[in-house]
Chains A and B, each alone.
Chain A
Amino acid sequence: MNILGISAHYHDSAAALVIDGLPFGAVEEERLSRRKHDADFPVSAIEWCLDSAGLDPDALDAVVFYERSMLKFERILTCALRAFPRSWRAFPKAIKSSLGEKVWVRGIIASYLGVPAHKILFTEHHQSHAAAAFLTAPTRRAAILTADGVGEWATLTVGHGERQPGGSTSISLLREIRFPHSLGMLYSTFTAYLGFPVNEGEYKVMGLAAYGRPTMIDRVLRLIRRTRDGAFSLDLDYFDYHTTAKRSYSSRFVELFGPPRSPYEPIDLDTSEGQRFADCAASVQRVLEDTLLGLARTLHEETRLPDLCLGGGVALNGVANARILAESGFERVFVPPAPGDGGCALGAALYADRVYFGNPDRELPDHPFLGPSVDGADLARVAREDHQCVEELDDHALIERIADDLVAGRIVGWMDGAAELGPRALGHRSILAAPHERQMRDRLNRDVKSREEFRPFAPVTTVEAADRYFDLPPGGTRLARFMSGVFPVRPEWRARLAAITHVDGSARLQAVDREMAPRLYALLQAYGRRTGIPVLLNTSFNVAGEPIVNRAREGYTIFRRCGIDTLVAGSTVVTKGGSLPSKAS
């Protein structure tokens, strides 16, 4: 059975193809269109999925859209009515945007793919999140918690799932918290208030939080209150996101927390103003963690299951995930590599396959490498044309050579095999560097990534070595598989891992095993043989404002214009040389 999953029209559009119950390929549209967080209907991603499987649209048994567009429209309309007359500016824009394209999804899919309307299915947004989290995790029974900004109406759901080996699958979402009460929107409101772009800057808030003290918790708790049934509600007087698309926070919010930060002003943590913003970030981070933890504890008491699957954009908050693992009572916490909307395309397709069509359960590959593959030969050709130094090496020689480069302090652009699905670079589209000196962090921020100084870099190590350098709770290695948890660096190693140790002594670790990423694993071992520490700095292979690279040529373009010293794609190694044409010529 061939099932195509699609997510689109909000942010991070994506397509995923499931063939006979197994993911064949999945890619976010941004990787192909090169527009970060591309929300357009994912034409290129769909084409890539079908082309790489050699399928015509006629061969599809179903096309599944990741949310119910008319239900979402109902929510938008209802919210506009509830906010009458304050919503008079937002109403025409919302209606235009919805009626212009978003509610006609069935027609768009049918006309683009030429599939009959009865083959087009719709999951609910949080069903898609739940399926992406549960059906990709190596567990048979688990509690499920999904949380994001908003889907149709739901912003947070809890439930449980069960898979019988080779048999049936069930996913039951039991209850939900509905818009406008939303943990994701609470966090996004602070993201906007702190001058970062919504849907992109949330991890900056998490990074900034480490520099602050949670001195404003009492103020944040005026915004969010626990309800008697154990859920939460927001005091909407402090928010504007439910009445207008222009601003998330209200003037009362500004009265409570002070003037917002201009996105054009850098955060200077040596000033009282900079510290206020850091304290603000620390406070909302703590409240988010406590709220999620409370919900997870209740879910654990209710289900008595050892495993928890987390989905939705809020599951990208690695600090909260680590606390849930350590304190909620669950023994294992699974977060998929793409818990946000991009991963919903895969979740929707898997949900249709297992639950709607009732196909028997199959073990899924436990890795995120579902995207287009990199072509080392293409890189070699392009680099030779530009008179760069190109070498083609066998695997062993390449690993040894790159390990030497890393020891020598060179920054390496590393492209290997199929691209990751999701926002994290997990070893196939990464920039790697030595993790020991703080200067490396500053160099990467300045010469490669062009990003704020306060933001940390993540480490990658082998599963065997992880516990030696990082203080992992039981189950921590699993959470670190897709870089989903933030854990303390062991104090005795902090000075020698200065480039990846955040100001609070933590790091967002990735722990790889040989099966998941054999070449990266071998590189870590080779680096460990040279330095005694098999840990590398691993950051996504992109620069500020651009998506992670997909093809070798995109990596090459970044290599040419920033401070990366060595570029690897497949068996090709390129070292910097040559120059761009002069303006005088």
Chain B
Amino acid sequence: MTTFVTGFEIAGQIDAKFPGAVQDAQPEFAAVKPEKLIEVLTWMRDDDGHRYRFLSSLTGVDRIDWFEVAYHLESFQHNRKTTIKVISEDRENPKVPSAVPVWPGAQLQEREAYDLLGIVFEGNPDLRRIFLWEGFAGFPLRKDYLNMPGGQMAGLERFPGEPGVELSGRGTE
């Protein structure tokens, strides 16, 4: 059975090695400061106590007030997995360092996150749109992409048929 290393545990270990690198810790993840990210990820990949050699998944999330990128890491040797996040406060031009130097497997996934969410991965050797065409306006997975009248955002606020206002959306801006 794969053990899930909680955000608190991994944050403690990162903090012991790189003091001040942890920005936030939750049960599900540990958030690392962008400027320390590559150092921390490289250490997690190479350190014998961790050996997170497999980048299982990389994806971006639009949290409305900030953007975050989640790295789901897997260690075959210890049969463990954990989640690291990096947060970009800049709402208009989010930028995080690229993980391609650590795991080449991040290449296509970073292109996907750039294409759909507009997160720029600094240092990615080939950051282009991947599913949409060059010249496509905007980033469709952002919550404010093509807002409905009244500034309503994507997502359901209530179930279809549930009493409430006509237009259902995830709150207003």
Q: Do A and B bind each other?
A: no
List residues of chain A with CB under 8 Å of any chain B CB.
Answer: none
List residues of chain B with CB under 8 Å of any chain A CB.
Answer: none
